Chains A and B, each alone.
Chain A
Amino acid sequence: AQSVTQLDSHVSVSEGTPVLLRCNYSSSYSPSLFWYVQHPNKGLQLLLKYTSAATLVKGINGFEAEFKKSETSFHLTKPSAHMSDAAEYFCVALNSGYALNFGKGTSLLVTP
């Protein structure tokens, strides 16, 4: 089964600086990977997904992620953080064609 590990439980950045949220996956084949975001007291929103079409995936709100097979990584980045980016971010792998396997989440804090 595919699993994901989010390397940081909390990340703090200043507004306007780059964001890097790290995720490693464990799989013997190319997985389907996702990043979801959860704002306080909100449901989960899909940011982007990787399904082997392109290694650099662009998502909503200026986020992107790069699939690196050699490093088994799928890190999420954004060039310039905005206050509204403060939220919980989940790296997710698809198992068995239907089951989403969630990482434990990274809480992003954006300071003025």
Chain B
Amino acid sequence: DADVTQTPRNRITKTGKRIMLECSQTKGHDRMYWYRQDPGLGLRLIYYSFDVKDINKGEISDGYSVSRQAQAKFSLSLESAIPNQTALYFCATSDLPDTQYFGPGTRLTVL
């Protein structure tokens, strides 16, 4: 079984809808991250969490919110989706400050 899982893997939604992307990990890591990937831009950090009570904004947090329900679960929400949030979203975890382990990604399309 994969150490970092993301659900759903693909989602198509309409402008204005609320969307939640979920991430679960079995690695026992305290740190979790959400990134988005756009073609030609690499990955950019949306939010990160060092433990259940510590959540921080990343480079591009506007339009997004997160919830750290447990050490193993970190959800990303789009309260009112817009087309320019169409992207590939990755969750990652780490225990050490450096090496991060990535989930398989969620491809989100906002029409």
Q: How many residues of B contact A (CB 8 A)?
A: 23
Q: How far is the CA of A90 from the CA of B88 in the complex (A)?
A: 15
Q: How many residues of A contact B (CB 8 A)?
A: 21
Q: How many A-B residue pairs have CB under 8 A?
A: 49
Q: Specify which chain A residues have a CB less than 8 angstroms from the CB of B42 in the assembled complex.
A: 90, 102-105
Is A100's CB under 8 angstroms from B43's CB?
yes
Residues of chain B in range 68-111 having any CB-CB distance to chain A below 8 Å: 90, 94, 97-105
Residues of B in contact with A (beta carbons under 8 Å apart) = 4, 31, 40-45, 48, 50, 58-59, 90, 94, 97-105
Known: A51-B98, A94-B97. A99 touches B45 (CB 8 A): yes
| Cross-chain contact of A102 among B44, B50, B99, B103 (Cβ < 8 A) | B44
